[in-house]
Structure 1
Amino acid sequence: MKRKIIFFSLFFLLVAGTVSAQNKNLPKSIISTTASIRQYYDQKELNGMQKGELLELYIERIKVLVKILPYVALATKPGVTMADLGIPDDSDHRKSLDLQSESTASFLNTTVDFQRKMMPYSDKNNLIASILFYQNTLKELHVFNEL
């Protein structure tokens, strides 16, 4: 019984080590793969929602925009890697991309905290107008590369 436990423990450690070692060599995406919204809404649908739901949609759209806008000159869709753009995939570029990802995450945490504290006091119509504006901006980014 002990042999089986030791064998399976060692086996899982080796498998876990192999899986994590493989992730280091994968090309990194310039734009986070989480930079997409679940659904677009029209004004009528938004008017029928409660303010709490609208706030979540507002925050979701801010997150996506913050993850995409700084990279518009490079790419507008998640999943594009440095290699896809001809950027050398060396340690300096990876470090720069990692630092940018960390900074973006920190900025988003601060921004989302602020939004959750302040936006409940906003006018519902302004919140809806902002969501529609952000959605239109995201739609325009989808056709940006066609220009």
Structure 2
Amino acid sequence: MKRKIIFFSVCFLLATGMVSAQDKNAPKSIISTNAIIKKYHSKEELQGLKKGELLELYIERIKVLVKTLPYIALATKPGVTMNDLGIPNDADNRKILAEQSESTTNFLDVTVGFQRRMVPYSDTDDLVKAILFYENTLRSLHEFNDM
């Protein structure tokens, strides 16, 4: 009986290990899949929000732009992989993409910290204008493919 339990436990652990192991060679998205905004706003909507809510929208748009703009010569939407673009999915390209992703994350950490500390001192109307500007820029990126 003990042998069966041990045998099934070992089989279960091996099966779990195979299923949960990540494929290191799987193609990764060039633009982060979370580089999207949920909703575009009108000036009137934004003027009805509190400064804390505006700050969160402002930061969200900065994140999306930073995760998108450096790659517009390759792609403008999240989910596009190196394979989709005909870029070899070799170890060197995966490594440089991972390094770029890590650098972007580090940059955003510092930038968001700065924004959370300094932007609350901004004028609310300027914050609304900045959000609208960022949203217009993001809309332009969606039209970029139509050019």
**TM-score normalised by length of structure 1:** 0.91
Q: Secondary structure at the match of 2:41?
A: coil
Does the alignment pair 1:90 with 2:90?
yes
* Cα RMSD after superposing both structures: 1.9
The SS at the match of 1:37 is coil
Q: What fraction of aligned residue pairs are identical, expressed as a percent?
A: 66
Residues 76 and 6 (structure 1 numbering): CA distance in 2 closer, same or farther, change over 3 Å?
same
- Residue of structure 2 in register with 1:133 after alignment: 133
- Greater Rg by CA: 2
Counterpart of 2:64 in structure 1: which amino acid?
Answer: V
Which consecutive residues of structure 2, in runs of 5 or more, have no partner in the other structure?
A: none
Aligned residue number for residue 120 of structure 1: 120
Deviation, structure 1 residue 24: 2.0
User: Post-superposition shift, 1:4?
Assistant: 5.2
Q: 1:15 to 1:61 in 2, by over 3 A?
A: farther
How far is 1:10 from its partner?
5.6
> How much does 1:6 deviate?
8.1
In 2, Cα distance between equivalents of 1:133 and 1:6: 62
Give the structure 1 partner of residue 53 of structure 2.
53
- Stretch moving more, 1-10 or 126-135: 1-10
- Helix, strand or coil for the counterpart of 1:24? coil
Match of 1:106, as an amino acid? Answer: N
Q: Structure 1 stretches of 5 or more lacking a match?
A: none
Shift of 1:123: 0.4
Normalised to the residue count of structure 2, the TM-score between the two structures is: 0.91
Moved >6 Å (runs of 4+)? none
- Is residue 42 of structure 1 aligned with residue 59 of structure 2? no
Q: How many residue pairs were aligned? A: 146
